[in-house]
Structure 1
Amino acid sequence: MLPIKIIPISSVLCALFISVSGFRLHLDSLKSKAVWTLHNENNSISTGAAVPGGVYSDLQAAGVIGDVLWRDNDVLTRWVAYDTWTYTASFYVNADNLKYDSITLVLEGVDTFAYVELNGSPVGSTQNMFVRYAFDVKQHLQAGHNELKVTFDSAVLVARNLSQRHFTAPACVPDVYHGECHANQVRKMQASFSWDWGPAFPSVGIWKPIFLEFRNSPVIRSLTTHIEKQDSTWHVRITAHFEGHGKSHHLTGFLSAILSVEGHQNVKIGRDLDTRTRNDGTAEVDMNMKISENMVRLWWPNGYGEQPLYDLNVVFADVQTGSTSHKHVKIGFRTIELVEEDASRILGNNTAGEGLTFYFKVNGYPIFMKGSNWIPSHILPEHSYNKMTIDNLLRSAVVTHTNMIRVWGGGLWEDDYFYRRCDELGLLVWQDLLFACSMYPAHHEFLENVKTEVEQNVIRLQHHPSVAIWGGNNENEVALRGNWYDTETQFDRYKREYITLYVDTIKPVVEALDPTRRYLVSSPSNGIKSEQDGYIAENPYDPHYGDTHYYNYVADNWDFSIYPNTRFASEYGFQSLPSKWTLQTASNLTSDYSVDSEFVAHRQHSPNGYSFIEAQIGRHLALDKDDANYFDKFIFYSQIIQAMAMKVETEFYRQSQRDWYTMGALYWQLNDVWQAPSWSGIEFGGRWKMLHYYAKSFFEPVLVSPRKKVTGDVDVYLINDRFVPITEAKIFVDTFKWDSLVPIKSENYTGNVGPLQSEKQVSLELWDEKNKDEIFMRFSVKADGVSYSPYNYVFPVPLKDVKGLTEPKIKITVRKAQKSSVGQNKFVVNINVDRVVAFLWLETCHIDGRYSDNGLILTEADTEVVFHTHDDVTAAELHTCITENIQYYVNK
């Protein structure tokens, strides 16, 4: 390797602006003059098309089909997925453009099986919606008019045919999903064939940008950055990934890098290049940069510090052609490691101290990961990277003190914008590779397809400081060990194929491209212990190792004692229905608004889902099936049940940092893809459920957290997610009767807890058998340096059995305040009550906005919350919305 040179900034800028290495001719509908049309196999349907886009979107825009998310249109439009569709573009090229040495047709995302023709000549085919394809079209392009055709086979039929050749379990999803079979055979969004929270829309289309690239020399396609700290110096290895096309190229010139740092300074390095690319035109070139720690600030997860990002520009000046190629990324400086070491070092030589830890250390600190699981933001992939939707969801996560998002393996490699926003917002990303809840083939063609997919996407995402870990698959280890798909008789075959795919094929690719991050083969798993046990552990749910997914719909989900010890809870959840306002965007038939309607049944994809919700409601809340408002209450009560279940389980995991060194709680799931019952905290369209409001509290950095035990005692924990200890805090315990706002008893206790810790403070006996159905307890904490910590509550008996929880008198007043700092309209809502109110719910109606708090337990006569909205509404309109739709729980 030639020596690295330190060069002046002016030299780099001169090289940067001499000329550029060609240009792009966009073929997108909106960015170019290309005109796209769409037709099916027998030409009975022909219409205009949008690119990027997809067949369902185009047919809906043309009026051929209705709103795909309306009622049961997911089934009624399924014929679309079985037809053959052709996208045709007409565009013009200037004769001078044909003089470039290389002309490449680039398709950044094609869903999924397509044949590409230019001016009647075949130029290539595609078979993976997650792969970027580039085809040499120089010999087929002509001056003037050109015609591009992309013909799609049905992914459903291709999957069926592949399964006949390489059957891999399972054959089909459960019937209640209303889905399609053999999704595991194709490299396509697995959830597009349906899931227990979403419909089947096995779309086809050019779902990402498409363009022609004209150039005379290879370009820097991607940058990867390997950043490690040694003593007081950051060592940055920059790898420039060059791409030509289809032939070897001679790279002769100068490669330079400029990194912006603090104080408006720049660090510059460069090196001469004189090398050849591979026969396919690709090459990788490394440069090493050293940065003093005082030149950059640390990047921190949300809640622990700021997220400074620094511009890195890399330029190649080609002396043969006189052209330059430029690539820019933003990078952050932080260390992160997944620590799996002897647990007895932390917990001592007891049962909990057996096995290994499983926690993330960021910048040297053990951080408890708080957050949720991300599914695609839309079931149609062309809508999944809508920036407004991504911003709304990620900002909503930030508000709840989330510091980690798990991108689930049945969805998508998300768009660059998603990861950029995670970088900027401090959201660490647990990135699953896209394999979920299935066995997968391991024949040569499939493995080579996957290898390309993984290489491209790890290179694309590796530089983001938000990416914390690569996960090989979702639930496939435990599925094989647990015989989920009747694979027991072929266990050896499936284990061999499992290892071939995730260990022999994927693992070396990921670790070669990103050696500083952990590749975890499966989730849940026992982590390193699963690897030592041959990658399929005898018990992948061993609480002494790794991470856990836990769902229990039969037991009482408000009972702390049902939840398992785990080092890291990476999935857990309970269902609820979306609001009636959201359901109204899927049906306007009043007959559909019933738990027994075909519409509501069709939307429930989880087997026995409604019966589980009904059973949980029956444990805690009084709901009469003959109530005239039964359906409205069923929706509302389902959200209460879900919010409280997630509150109890999440607080159990946060408390267990003390006793089991549980170090993560990522509930299932953040968002939705349609208007249906699911585990989400945010409904399709962005409306917050009660769960999401409750997440703001149960993820609060400082929290007093009581645990009701089966004995009737209460253990009181103090949780501190800050870098400083809490000393001599005051923990207040107020006992109320349900019919009064005046506590019948008030006590306080001294609390102390170290930084980044949870500590049990006291065990209390708070009631006796004579009056526990009349009372409840409110907990709060005050401490120096803690500006806010929410109330917490213990209900001694199920609310359906309490006495005194009757109709309150509620007075609502609304006044408009000054706009917020981000330009939103701001309203202050005052709530006056004459007695305790349980789970007071303030509606937003059709106003797009949210409250500072909701689902309130009111123990004071006056409470204020703030409502923020970008909509142009008046205080009177908001007041009407609230008063006409107010909900709360009473025993009647």
Structure 2
Amino acid sequence: MSHRIVFAIFCFIGVLEALQFQNLNGKWKLHSANMIIKNLDAEVPGGIYTDLMENKILGDIFYGYSDETTKWVSRTEWIYETNFTVPKDLVNHENVNLVFDGLDTFADIFVNDQRVGASRNMFVQYVFDIKKHLKVGNNKIRVHFKSPIQVSYDLAEKQNKSYIVPPLCPPDAYHGECHANMIRKMQASYAWDWGPAFPSVGIWKNVSIEAFNSTIIRHVVTDLEVNGTNWLLHVDTYLVENHVKGRRITGELVVVLKITDNQWVKSVVHVSVDGKSPAVSTYLAVPKSKISTWWPNGYGDQKLYTLEVTYKNGDEQSFKQVSVGFRTIELVEEPIGKGLSYYFKVNNVPIFMKGSNQIPLHILPELGQDKQRVRRLFQAAKDSHMNMLRVWGGGVYESEYFYEVADEMGILIWQDFMFACAMYPTNEEFLDNVLEEVDYQVKRLSGHTSIALFAGNNENEAALRDNWYGISNFTLYKNDYVKLYVETVKRRFEEITHKRRIFITSSPSNGKQSELEGYVAQNPGNPQFGDVHFYDYTIDPVNSSAYPLPRFASEYGYESFPCLDSWKEVVQSDSDLDVNGKFFEHRQHHPGGNQEMLNMINREFLPINKTHNQYTEAIIYFSQVIQALGTKTETEHYRIHRSTIDEEGKGHTMGALYWQLNDVWVAPSWGSIDYTGRWKLLQYHVKEFLAPVIITGYIDTDKQLKVYVVSDLTPELPTFVASICVYRWNSFTPVSKSNIMMDIDGGSSKLIHTININVLMSMSDCGTGADAFRNCFIHLSMIDQSGKQMAPNNYVFPTKIRNSSLQNPKLKISSVKKGADKIFNIEVTSENIALFVTLDSHQIRGTFSDNGFVLVEKNKTVIFFSENDTTTEELLKELTVVSVFDYTDQS
């Protein structure tokens, strides 16, 4: 079956006129509830850790062992207060609300010392009726936050002891906190295998007062369907409750879609609705001939249109402006092989989803709202040819700006609901709390062009079926799983979206097959259905045959260490810069992770002399090389199997989202961009292995070298020339070269050449037997008939690099020339072929056009894009260049 979902999409901008609107952001006062700490300046939006750092109560919490030494913060109750002046005309409105867009997480709210309400969910907007508590002139708000650690502990203690909701605590290696699954707070703030425990409290989003007599617009939710030559743009407008008993909301709703400055489509609706649950639905018929379609990154433009919705009642007027993108999206699950397909069609075009998983933009949620941080993340994704990011379920629903930039840049969002790697309670109080969350977040987010689908949870179907937590009553926990994700989350999601948008219950999951098996499949990771998560640190990461053939790979990856300069920013002394030392082990939250990285390094590369004064630097370098190679090999494996089905019915892989794009502190992790913003070698490789067209190859178990060309472009590729060159390590001149001229259909993968590797080596004067594999390697390239490069160069090694006869390349930076503003041309010179040549600008921050590359020519020019103004002389002083040979013990 194919589920056709059609969207009209928008970006939340906000209420421009709500009769009277008072912003309460800015400077507040902060105290500990016991008044040991008092009268501190606090910033709203903000959070307790940022405020305590600003007041010098805490140092930099991302420095040293601060995740351990600051645990008292989340065990303390905190009070935020502010005084504000209210004019007479505001108080005279019939309705006056205090609105918190985000409270983290458990708080009692007081206005003029009268309790007006409480919060219990980080992911909900709270609206409190405060009219009777306000007075003209000076007023006071107090927000008393409870300790989330204490609240989650108390909730866990209230559980029926015969029915524990696991897991109780994270692994010891996390240095984390217990019972994160008891509360609706960012799960990762209690620690994860890539992040620290900083369970913040605070007013992490905007706070304001709204005053009106009739109502104002809260949400505008849109969706589309195609009707002949028109798009039907459905618009659901959710109005704010009127607190006056028995009052109906009446007036006029004007909906206008601007097509051009002089063209628009308009609908006017007479409003007469119940004041307790006001909502108005209408639609616009928009001629398809007047509309430019929105496309994901790499497939076309991202045209967005302005939709204006105005509510009028007498002198009152409320206005909301949102952005609409016109596109269709389908999740196609049709019989194929011995299972079902699992791929996305956008505007009726099958698209291979290329991208990554995004963890929270910051472990302190208020800092994740930073617009520069958001834009840098998406720019890296766009520049690396990504078309999808998965917002992972242990984090947060990101800021409005996050989804606006995704809309703008054409990055589709796989949006998890915030449930991950745990079972959860299903008592009435918890489910009611979840319903409020689903209601708010779906109305807030679902209209965005970038939203491709919502997933109920991360890995919880697999955790239940594979019994990660040692439960003894599967049926009991399965019933509760269905109660939470199907009967609560899915049901409310479908009510709001009219079943026009895509919802999957879990990831990984077998999709429709999981549904047929009662939403918990016998094998949720079955590669013939749905999506898979694949991690195995015992395999050879550069052996393509070690990887599965799934329909969609939504998680996979390898760890590496951040750059040495990043470590230097967080260590207490140089003695902490020891890869085998206490500090590196403390920051490694994945149990056994450091040893797994060392094992992978040792399998691929020659031993490194442990007495060498650059040992830690070498291990960091090799960890990034093997992470890049492993992720590259796996991703290319998935891409080449987009057009193939093997004899077991596996293949037709149509998605590859590696884990993970970003980091939340300086630590070993799967991230391709570290916490400081420095690109690891993986991120440079991502730009190449996610390129629209790639040439790639591998040696299969029958010793056959297979070379593929993969194209994501929709038209047929023009005739191209693929070159298969064999190089000896001691010469820039290939010992053999084969040119293959052919074409390839758009959106497909094609096997263009097969040859026995032994035959190829013997034909290429590489020697015989094992010597031939040591002496030579294969280099792949691809040009069009005019000589223009069509795909990144690639390579295949017939043996482990540790067995290869590498030569000293004697690398040097021969020149640095300044080009345009903040752009430098760097020439690297080598005397021999050099493996994984890596440039580093150290304290001069920026990125390179290419890095971690295989150098098969004497000279190569690399462009450096500096973040700040610098001189050629300053850059030369900082620049270094290394390769595999420089860190390898050659004795």
Distance 1:754 1:20, change over 3 A: closer
Q: Which consecutive residues of structure 2, in runs of 5 or more, have no partner in the other structure? A: 1-14, 645-650, 763-768
What residue number does 1:327 align with? 320
What does the per-residue CA deviation read over 1:775-795, in whole Å, with 9 as the maximum and x for residues that have no partner?
011001123597531100001
What residue number does 2:369 align with? 385
What does the per-residue CA deviation read over 1:186-221, in whole Å, with 9 as the maximum and x for residues that have no partner?
000000000000000011111111111111111111
Distance 1:582 1:20, change over 3 A: closer
The answer to whether the Cα contact below 8 Å between 1:371 and 1:405 also exists between their aligned partners in 2 is yes
What does the per-residue CA deviation read over 1:156-179, in whole Å, with 9 as the maximum and x for residues that have no partner?
111111112233101000000000
What residue number does 2:391 align with? 407
What residue number does 1:5 align with? none
What residue number does 1:7 align with? none
What does the per-residue CA deviation read over 1:591-610, in whole Å, with 9 as the maximum and x for residues that have no partner?
00002221111100000001
What residue number does 1:767 align with? 761
Q: Does 1:492 align with 2:475?
A: yes
Distance 1:37 1:180 in 2: 25
Q: Which of the numbers 290, 294, 301 marks the counterpart of 1:299?
A: 294
What secondary structure does 1:771 align onto?
helix
Q: Which of the numbers 23, 26, 38 marks the counterpart of 1:26?
A: 23
Mapping of residues 807-826 of structure 1, within 5 Å: 807-819=809-821, 825-826=822-823
Distance 2:338 2:457 in 1: 26
What secondary structure does 2:773 align onto?
coil
Return the letter of the residue paired with 2:843: H
What residue number does 1:795 align with? 797
Q: Does 1:431 align with 2:415?
A: yes
Distance 2:744 2:227 in 1: 32
What residue number does 1:632 align with? 617
Distance 1:154 1:184 in 2: 15
Distance 1:46 1:100 in 2: 33
What residue number does 1:732 align with? 723
Mapping of residues 178-189 of structure 1, within 5 Å: 178-189=175-186
Distance 1:807 1:259, change over 3 A: same
Q: Determine what percentage of the aligned residue pairs are the same residue.
A: 39
What residue number does 1:478 align with? 462
Distance 1:58 1:784 in 2: 61
Q: Does 1:579 align with 2:563?
A: yes
The answer to whether the Cα contact below 8 Å between 1:197 and 1:606 also exists between their aligned partners in 2 is yes
Q: Which of the numbers 256, 259, 275 marks the counterpart of 1:258?
A: 256
Distance 2:194 2:87 in 1: 49
Larger deviation: 415-424 or 147-156?
147-156
What secondary structure does 1:767 align onto?
helix
What does the per-residue CA deviation read over 1:422-475, in whole Å, with 9 as the maximum and x for residues that have no partner?
000000000000000000110000000000101101100121111000000000
Distance 1:251 1:90 in 2: 33
Larger deviation: 558-567 or 780-789?
780-789
Distance 1:90 1:43, change over 3 A: farther
Distance 1:542 1:285 in 2: 43
What residue number does 1:126 align with? 119
Return the letter of the residue paired with 1:501: L
Structure 1 residue 276: Cα displacement: 2.7
What does the per-residue CA deviation read over 1:359-380, in whole Å, with 9 as the maximum and x for residues that have no partner?
0000000000000001111110
The answer to whether the Cα contact below 8 Å between 1:811 and 1:833 also exists between their aligned partners in 2 is no
What residue number does 1:196 align with? 193
What residue number does 2:657 align with? 666
Structure 1 residue 39: Cα displacement: 2.6
Distance 1:189 1:264 in 2: 46
Q: Which of the numbers 433, 436, 448 marks the counterpart of 1:449?
A: 433
TM-score w.r.t. the length of structure 1 is 0.94
Distance 1:316 1:439 in 2: 43
Mapping of residues 443-842 of structure 1, within 5 Å: 443-487=427-471, 489-514=472-497, 515-622=499-606, 623-659=608-644, 660-765=651-756, 766-767=760-761, 769=769, 770-783=771-784, 788-819=790-821, 825-842=822-839
What secondary structure does 2:652 align onto?
coil
What residue number does 1:10 align with? none
Structure 1 residue 492: Cα displacement: 1.2
What residue number does 1:288 align with? 283
Return the letter of the residue paired with 1:310: Y
| RMSD of aligned Cα (Å) | 1.6
What secondary structure does 1:460 align onto?
helix
Mapping of residues 145-160 of structure 1, within 5 Å: 145-160=138-153
Return the letter of the residue paired with 2:177: E
What residue number does 2:90 align with? 97
What secondary structure does 2:742 align onto?
strand
Distance 1:254 1:614 in 2: 67
Structure 1 residue 23: Cα displacement: 1.6
Larger deviation: 450-459 or 621-630?
621-630
Distance 1:520 1:474 in 2: 11
Structure 1 residue 710: Cα displacement: 2.6
Larger deviation: 283-292 or 297-306?
283-292
What secondary structure does 1:772 align onto?
helix
Return the letter of the residue paired with 2:270: D
Structure 1 residue 25: Cα displacement: 1.1
Q: Which of the numbers 222, 228, 231 marks the counterpart of 2:228?
A: 231
Structure 1 residue 324: Cα displacement: 1.0
What residue number does 2:7 align with? none
Structure 1 residue 45: Cα displacement: 4.6
Structure 1 residue 20: Cα displacement: 4.7
Distance 2:876 2:460 in 1: 50
Return the letter of the residue paired with 1:252: T
Distance 1:712 1:262, change over 3 A: farther
The answer to whether the Cα contact below 8 Å between 2:303 and 2:325 also exists between their aligned partners in 1 is yes
Q: Kindly indicate whether structure 1 or structure 2 has the higher relative contact order, using CA contacts under 8 Å at least 6 residues apart.
A: 2
The answer to whether the Cα contact below 8 Å between 2:456 and 2:485 also exists between their aligned partners in 1 is yes
Larger deviation: 141-150 or 637-646?
141-150
Mapping of residues 30-45 of structure 1, within 5 Å: 35-45=28-38
What residue number does 1:54 align with? 47
Distance 1:271 1:783 in 2: 57
What residue number does 2:875 align with? 878
Q: Which of the numbers 843, 850, 854 marks the counterpart of 1:853?
A: 850
Structure 1 residue 270: Cα displacement: 1.0
What residue number does 2:219 align with? 222
What secondary structure does 1:168 align onto?
coil
Distance 1:588 1:742, change over 3 A: farther
The answer to whether the Cα contact below 8 Å between 2:604 and 2:801 also exists between their aligned partners in 1 is yes
Distance 1:244 1:591 in 2: 61
What secondary structure does 2:339 align onto?
coil
Distance 2:488 2:168 in 1: 24
The answer to whether the Cα contact below 8 Å between 2:32 and 2:76 also exists between their aligned partners in 1 is no
Q: Does 1:315 align with 2:310?
A: yes
What does the per-residue CA deviation read over 1:787-809, in whole Å, with 9 as the maximum and x for residues that have no partner?
53110000111111111332424
Q: Which consecutive residues of structure 1, in runs of 5 or more, have no partner in the other structure? A: 1-16, 344-352, 820-824
Distance 2:755 2:527 in 1: 28
Return the letter of the residue paired with 2:581: S
Aligned residues: 851
What secondary structure does 1:469 align onto?
strand
Q: Does 1:176 align with 2:173?
A: yes
What secondary structure does 2:433 align onto?
helix
Return the letter of the residue paired with 2:280: V
Distance 2:54 2:88 in 1: 35
Larger deviation: 735-744 or 412-421?
735-744
